Amino acid sequence: MDEIERTLEEFEHEIENADNLEAIKVIRVKYLGKKGKVTALMRHLKDLPKEEKPIFGQKVNKLKNSIEEILEKKHEEIIFKEKESKFEKERLDVTLPGARKTLGHRHLISRVLQEIEDVFLTLGYEIVEGPEIETEYYNFDALNTPEWHPARDLHDTFYISTKDGTLLRSHTSPVQVRTMKKSKPPIKIIAPGKVYRKDYDVTHLPMFHQVEGLVVGKGISVAHLKGTLDYFVRSIFGPGRKTRLVPSFFPFTEPSFEVYVSCGICGGKGCKSCGFTGWLEIMGAGMVDPNVFEEVGYDPEEWTGFAFGMGVERIAMLKYNVDDIRLFPRNDVRFLEQF
């Protein structure tokens, strides 16, 4: 009887420490196998006196049953635990944000250029383009620019050859001349594109973008220019913004203006951004000079027109509060991604 008791205790101790199916198999053989401990106890039965046999037999049977029961339970427990740990290892948090592929997008300058083009397309303008390698004639002469004008200086303009007068255009205004020479009025065009100047600082790049505008017709006046620019400014910067024309000079327009937009940061009261003036300069403009009309063969008594030219980078800087123009061509994604 003691032996039965001890066998159970021993078994319980061993099963307690078993933590895998292989260990359970070993224990099962050790107790219930042909040469197992319980089987040995059973065999012992025949050696006992007759009156002890039933009780002993019952006890060994009970032992066998509980061992089987415990083994079964332990088996299930281990299978359950193994599954658990497998699931744990394979756990997926389906609520985590996915690893999205980032898409590229258009450069801010391309976007702003597109916005500018859209405003004028809405007004019925046509988009035309001209060459970036120009001649002195189209870039200066035909635009009524005197021989002595400082913009012609080697320090300002990239000349390709001073012999044949080829250069990188320093503005988009030569497209005015090319367009007028090619077609008859009325004309309503914008000419976007790259221009080149020997300049490099926080507000100047050696290559930047301009959008030229030219309208020629009968009775075109400064009022048309002002109305067009008001519409443009409100479309690009928002309905609350005002425009101001300040007298200026360009060889190819008369009168000429510098065009200002009311400061978006202080609302026109004056702040650091606008140099405490309440106004920001956004472009040059004016009425086409009669000398330019003569040059392209238009009768200045019959036709009048206005022209304007703006820097795309400058518009983008003002609209998106970018304080260094050199950020645009640097192409640092940390900068570009913000737009």
Binding site for ligand PHE (CB under 6 A): 171, 173, 212, 250, 253, 284-286, 307-309
Minimum CB–partner distance for residue 283 and ligand PHE (Å):
7
Minimum CB–partner distance for residue 309 and ligand PHE (Å):
3
Q: What angle do CA 191, 192, 196 make, to 5 degrees?
A: 115
User: Which residue's CB comes closest to ligand PHE?
Assistant: 309
Q: How many residues does the chain have?
A: 339
Minimum CB–partner distance for residue 250 and ligand PHE (Å):
4
Task: Give the separation between CA 79 and CA 85, rounded to whole angstroms.
Answer: 10
Smallest Cα–Cα separation from 162: which of 175, 150, 173, 152? 152
Residue 151 structure tokens: 């913009």
Q: Which residues contact 97 (CB under 8 A, 6 or more apart)?
A: none
Containing 190, the helix (H) or strand (E) segment is strand 187-196
Is 259 in a helix, a strand, or coil? Answer: strand
When the beta carbons of 179 and 253 are compared against ligand PHE, the nearer one is 253
Rg (CA), the chain: 45
Task: Give the separation between CA 140 and CA 48, rounded to whole angstroms.
Answer: 130
When the beta carbons of 63 and 285 are compared against ligand PHE, the nearer one is 285
When the beta carbons of 174 and 268 are compared against ligand PHE, the nearer one is 174
When the beta carbons of 112 and 259 are compared against ligand PHE, the nearer one is 259
Minimum CB–partner distance for residue 253 and ligand PHE (Å):
5
Minimum CB–partner distance for residue 176 and ligand PHE (Å):
7
When the beta carbons of 40 and 222 are compared against ligand PHE, the nearer one is 222
Minimum CB–partner distance for residue 126 and ligand PHE (Å):
17
Q: Contact 154/219 with Cβ under 8 angstroms?
A: no
Minimum CB–partner distance for residue 284 and ligand PHE (Å):
3
Smallest Cα–Cα separation from 141: which of 115, 161, 167? 167
Alpha-helical segments (H) within 123-169: 136-139
Minimum CB–partner distance for residue 205 and ligand PHE (Å):
13
Q: Edge to edge, what strands does the sheet with 133-135 contain?
A: 133-135, 166-168, 159-161
Measure Cα distances from 214 to 184, 278, 327 in Å. Answer: 13, 28, 30
Residue 26 structure tokens: 């070993």
When the beta carbons of 7 and 170 are compared against ligand PHE, the nearer one is 170
When the beta carbons of 24 and 316 are compared against ligand PHE, the nearer one is 316
When the beta carbons of 37 and 171 are compared against ligand PHE, the nearer one is 171
Smallest Cα–Cα separation from 252: which of 220, 212, 207? 212
Task: Give the separation between CA 222 and CA 248, rounded to whole angstroms.
Answer: 14
When the beta carbons of 171 and 188 are compared against ligand PHE, the nearer one is 171
Q: Contact 270/278 with Cβ under 8 angstroms?
A: yes
Minimum CB–partner distance for residue 244 and ligand PHE (Å):
16
